[in-house]
Chains A and B, each alone.
Chain A
């Protein structure tokens, strides 16, 4: 604890310079500080507050896609009409992160850079083909989310790279998305098993599908076998079942206080099926509740 330092960055360049000197960025504190309090990882000796950097908290449209500043909060995402309308799976996820206070402070940048296999926003963004823009001492680069995560809490980005924005390409017409997780309580949960699906329908058939699983492997990842099983025909029961089974087959779950390996595996099928069904329903224009996981009384 002795000698810990803190600076406030007023620009991306400031932050990157501090990070190059060894500081870790902190915004909402909902992962970094909470993790330290839970004894997972001590707080870094050097911290740089990035919460005051101007211009990083916007949600913008670009060619039908979205650009999310790193400091966009979960509550901003879930209340944004375009996110709800066309990037619904992301709204599903942001709506159930932690508690209302976590959502008011936790940022999309922090969530993604935490590289937790249980993060909620990861799977839908991965399926949406999101890329992240990283700023480092040598300039900026853009990489796909699938390249970002190297393991639980591990990034391929270097320690002096700051996530500046998340870019989500425009979905094709006829696309719907969903994120669903297993929840023991209706709020204040962490994903034990989760799944996301982005489905594009055309002429009654699945033209394209992206399916990813959460908290079932060292990193969140897409399951090509599941996607292939869904594409090429109508989203009927056989196809959905095959896709869900494939998603579960790709799971490499652990057993811990939250669930056994067997239960996680079984729930992987259920969550994948629900995510696919909800995405299909949304793709065909049905209005499905957000979040797709039940979150309040009566549901």
Chain B
């Protein structure tokens, strides 16, 4: 059975038609057409698919599209409102927090959620707040430094 729902992604309302079992990730990638959120594992172990749903970081591969009907969804494409990067995005680049970039969208989503909830996190809080995002390239060092830098202002 198909369901007509409205996904509000990065402030834009997208009417889409989905199966009951369709994941939010596949719907946003295939129907909304935003491919910034990545599929790295499909079972919530890597965090590459993370989006914000009403401000919460969610592994969108394991979240039903139907459940997100009417929610405010933010993907990596929606973090910077204009052409300028957000402080977090700039810091990720300046501190070596980006290599292959495949984990980056999810990392940025987690970091954004963390700083929104806790603008001055301790180093431990930063690590816990990013713990659901696996990175194989950077050893996390540049990522933690970038988040600390933005948190310190």
Contact = CB atoms under 8 A, between A and B. Distances in A.
Do chains A and B make direct contact within the complex (CB under 8 angstroms)?
A: yes
Interface stretch (A3-11, A62-70, A122-130, A280-288): A3-11
A101 B64 contact: no
Interface string A268-299: 00000000000000000000000000011110
Contacts of A46: 20
B124 A298 contact: yes
Interface of B is mostly: mixed
A188 B132 contact: yes
**Size class of A's contact patch?**
20 to 34
A49 to B, nearest CB: 5
**Size class of B's contact patch?**
35 or more
B104 interface: no
Interface string B1-34: 1010000000000000001110100000000000
Contact of B64 (A33, A186, A296, A298): A33
B58 interface: yes
B131 interface: yes
B62 A4 contact: no
Contacts, number: 102
Interface in A23-62: 26, 29-30, 33-34, 37-38, 43, 46-47, 49, 51
A298 B123 CA distance: 11
Nearest to A27: B67
B14 to A, nearest CB: 18
27 contacts: A5-B20, A26-B64, A29-B62, A30-B59, A37-B43, A37-B61, A38-B43, A47-B20, A49-B67, A51-B67, A100-B114, A100-B129, A100-B130, A100-B132, A101-B47, A101-B58, A101-B110, A102-B59, A102-B132, A104-B58, A105-B56, A105-B59, A186-B131, A187-B131, A188-B134, A296-B127, A297-B123
Given A8-B66, A33-B64, A296-B127, 10 more contacts: A4-B21, A5-B20, A6-B20, A26-B67, A30-B59, A33-B62, A37-B43, A101-B58, A101-B59, A101-B110
Interface of B: 1, 3, 19-21, 23, 42-45, 47, 50, 56-59, 61-64, 66-67, 69, 110, 113-114, 123-124, 127-134
Interface of A: 1, 3-6, 8, 26, 29-30, 33-34, 37-38, 43, 46-47, 49, 51, 98-102, 104-105, 186-188, 295-298
The 4 closest A-B pairs by CB, nearest first: A99-B132, A187-B131, A6-B20, A4-B20
